[in-house]
Amino acid sequence: MSSGAEDHEVNLRQRLSGLSRLPLLRGARVSGEAERLERQLERLKAETSDEEIWRSVELARHVDRPYTLDYVERILDDWVELHGDRGRADDGAMVAGIGSLDGRTVVLVGNQKGRDVKERIARQFGMPYPEGYLKAMRVMEIGERFGFPVISLVDTPGAYPGVAAEQHGQGGAIARCQMAMMRLGVPTVACIIGEGGSGGAVATAVADRVLMQENAIYSVITPEGCAAILWRDGSQAKKAAAAFKPDARHCLELGVVDAIVAEPPDGAQTDHDEAARLLKGSLLEALEELEAFDGDDLRRRRRAKFRGMGVFA
């Protein structure tokens, strides 16, 4: 193994450290966890195949995958959902509220898809209008004012592509939501829990720690959209996904996310309770790490992190 590859592995191990320390700290099913983590590390070391990338795309969109409110009910001890952007509407694709996480009050915002057809339509398939981003900003400001950490769960195919959404200022809302998150003086943790689709996803993912579930995807455009533009054929989505690599491993490698959150062996859809337990552990650990910093430190470090994103010659 060349030293470059070794460095790479060390790097991966460090990034995964959040993951590998977590079950040991929590003390539950230590051996089973350790074994799974080893397996996971093995898998991460091997080059992800195009098939595996596509499997992530399918699992990230699985109809039984836990959504934000499924996690809320399992992770938070208490939860008061807040509604409305105080201007125009209450966007069902973005839920926001205040809850109790392991004895501390947190603000939580998240995209919400629907379980049945009726709910899916009511929640626009998890695609927020500008009103959704305004609602998220409003509730995050409560966190800022009262010193509550902000947790953001991201699961959207993208911001809603409609006439009214444009007229209400979709682009500007996404830009301002990012800026609002950049300004927060409280610890912020985001986790991509399903689809992290484009600007609509990054709008609420500008956090001190950005986590990503094992089978989530995070991308600049949907595989179908990319295929339609570059291959001029929407059915080449698999090829497009293989080319732009939206899977967790590549996002970790590129420095876009800070750690990967483990899922139950066959994906989060198989065991919501277990998926929630693993997510809760990672969120708590990320928040613990951030406790050491005051507001100015957090802002400065957050800005420095995002300022450094990208690869150029």
Residues interacting with another protein, by CB under 8 A? 159, 161-163, 165-172, 174-176, 178-179, 182-183, 198-199, 202-203, 205-206, 218-221, 225-226, 229-233, 240, 243-246, 250-251, 254, 256, 303, 306-307, 309-313
In the complex, least distance from residue 251 CB atom to another protein, rounded to whole angstroms:
6
Cβ closest to another protein, residue 80 vs residue 117: 117
Which H/E stretch holds residue 37?
helix 30-45
Residues 263 and 245: beta-carbon distance below 8 Å = no
Cβ closest to another protein, residue 98 vs residue 257: 257
φ, ψ at 49 (rounded to 5°): -85, 165
Cβ closest to another protein, residue 117 vs residue 313: 313
In the complex, least distance from residue 154 CB atom to another protein, rounded to whole angstroms:
12
Structure tokens at 290: 């951030």
Cβ closest to another protein, residue 123 vs residue 250: 250
The three-state secondary structure class of 311 is: coil
Residues 36 and 24: beta-carbon distance below 8 Å = no
Cβ closest to another protein, residue 277 vs residue 305: 305
Cβ closest to another protein, residue 46 vs residue 229: 229
In the complex, least distance from residue 282 CB atom to another protein, rounded to whole angstroms:
20
**DSSP letter (8 states) at residue 88:** S
In the complex, least distance from residue 266 CB atom to another protein, rounded to whole angstroms:
25
Residue with tokens 């209450």: 90
In the complex, least distance from residue 209 CB atom to another protein, rounded to whole angstroms:
14
Q: Say if strands 217-219 and 209-213 run parallel, antiparallel, or are unpaired.
A: unpaired
DSSP string, 248-306: HHHHHHTTSSSEEE---TT-GGG-HHHHHHHHHHHHHHHHHHHTTS-HHHHHHHHHHHH
Cα–Cα distance, 72 to 65 (Å, whole number)? 14
Cα–Cα distance, 103 to 153 (Å, whole number)? 20
